[in-house]
Each structure stands twice: as C-alpha cells, then as structure tokens.
Structure 1
Amino acid sequence: MADWGPVLVAVVLFVLLTPGLLFQLPGHDRVVEFGSMRTSCAAVIAHAVIFFGILALFLITIRVHVYTG
C-alpha cells in the first residue's frame, strides 16, 4: 500500500499558495493583493514559509493519509 496523503496535500497547497494566483503577500501596491498574477522575491519567501507551516500542520499534527491498492 502506498500512502499518497502527503503527496496530495503538498500538490494542492503548492497550487493554491502560488504567489499571485489567489493572493500575494506582500503585494506591490498594498500589503495583500488578490488575483494580481504578479510576484516578487519577498512574496515567494512569504508564501514558502506559509506553505511549510500549513504542510507541517497537515502532515505532523493532523496526519493525513490516503492509501491506495
């Protein structure tokens, strides 16, 4: 049996937390911009920290598991 939970959670979070797709923190003109489809180095770092925090929350504390086979 393969545990696909961590892979699925990581892929979904990666897509949703892409800077500029849903929101960008920090934005170019404001603190938070929604749907701007632009990015900056500071936004990439901020989204990477948010990604790691939420991924750790799901994988370590909630223990998401999806088994196949």
Structure 2
Amino acid sequence: MKDLATPIIAASLFAFLSPGLIFQLPGKHHMVEFFNMKTSIPSLFLHTVIYGLLLILFFVILNVHLYE
C-alpha cells in the first residue's frame, strides 16, 4: 500500500502558500495583501516557516495518512 497523503498535502500546500498567489505576508503596503502576484525576501522567509509548520502539523502531530 502506498501512502498518498504526503505528496498530495505537500504539493498542494506548496502551491497555495506561494507568496502572492492567494495572500502575501508581509505585503509591500499592508500587513496582508491578497492576489498581488508579487513577492519579497521577508515574504519568502515567512511563507517557508508557515509551510514547514503546516507540514509538521499534518504529518507529525495529526499523523495524516491516505492509502491507495
């Protein structure tokens, strides 16, 4: 049996947490900006930290599995 939760969750979080795609923390003019399609170095760092924390939440704390 293959565990499909890892690649599905990791890929979807990576896509949705790209800075500027849906939201950007911190934004250029406001703390949170939506759908601006721009990025900055602080935003890249913060989105990387959020991505890592969500991966830890799903795989270590919640122990999510989806078997084929």
**TM-score interval (norm. to shorter):** over 0.9
RMSD over aligned Cα atoms: 0.7
Structure 1, unmatched stretches of 5+, are none
Equivalent residue runs for 1:44-63 within 5 Å: 44-63=44-63
Stretches of 4+ moved more than 4 A in 1? none
Structure 2, unmatched stretches of 5+, are none
Equivalent residue runs for 1:8-27 within 5 Å: 8-27=8-27
How many equivalent residue pairs? 68
| Counterpart secondary structure, 1:3 | coil
Amino-acid identity (%): 43
**Greater fraction of residues in strand:** 1
For the residues of structure 2 that align with 1:60 and 1:7, how far apart are their CA atoms?
15
Q: TM-score, normalised by structure 2?
A: 0.95
For the residues of structure 2 that align with 1:40 and 1:9, how far apart are their CA atoms?
25
